[in-house]
Structure 1
């Protein structure tokens, strides 16, 4: 086991702390959990800029490009968004009139939620 690891903590020795620069880069500001899901984060990004690449969305959300592709496919299958090809790029059109999916939130529309987070989305 490395010095300063679990064994050191059990023996009462102080653990090594990472340098401040490394800790900030390795951990997002809101580590652990957020109020919105990755599906919502992807929708917020695409509502703000429907022409951005999925690579850009992945960087903003903090997940892999493959995860964003999966989320976009699920949202497309549910009718929440549509992909429109423009030359070599995609443009994403969101259906903001659809209700949220969970029974607790079905009285709200996707546009209501997006409108709270993205100014000018409505």
Structure 2
């Protein structure tokens, strides 16, 4: 990783697990290094999160050459009882919408005229 993750104090709305899952949903062949950079985590933390997601039945991977290709179990119900009966697919649809809105906002910011 090029730089250490930025420290963050306090709580956040999204968990690191949801951030990692969203990164994988965006690119099923993404590298741990790239996920770590995107999510501002260490590579070791990302590896642990991927193992948690696999152990929980939310994610699997297969090796293709030297790379991993991930498969998300989209119909799997989220873990917390308060989230039931929401599925991984529903969570990811919200996160993808968030990413699109964020990209669109930064596009507008980049092209503002005085």
Q: Which TM bucket (shorter chain)?
A: 0.7 to 0.9
Residue 53 of structure 1: aligned partner: 31
Runs of 5+ in structure 1 lacking a partner? 1-25
Residue 42 of structure 1: aligned partner: 20
Once the two structures are superposed, residues 62-98 of structure 1 have per-residue CA deviations (whole angstroms, 9 ceiling, x without a partner) of 1100000001011111110001111110011000100
RMSD over aligned Cα atoms: 1.7
Q: Which has the higher contact order (CA 8 A, sep 6+)?
A: 2
1:27 deviates by 6.0
Give the TM-score normalised by the residue count of structure 2: 0.75
Indicate whether 1:107 and 2:85 are aligned.
yes
Greater fraction of residues in helix:
2
**Distance (Å, rounded) in 1 between the aligned partners of 2:33 and 2:58:** 20
Give the TM-score normalised by the residue count of structure 1: 0.71
Runs of 5+ in structure 2 lacking a partner? 1-5, 98-114
Indicate whether 1:63 and 2:22 are aligned.
no
- Looking at CA atoms only, which structure, 1 or 2, has the larger radius of gyration? 1
Instruction: Evaluate the alpha carbon distance shift between residue 73 and residue 27 of structure 1 in structure 2; reply closer, same or farther with a 3 A threshold.
Output: closer
Q: Which runs of 4+ in 1 moved over 3 A?
A: none
Aligned length: 93
Match of 1:82 among 60, 63, 68: 60
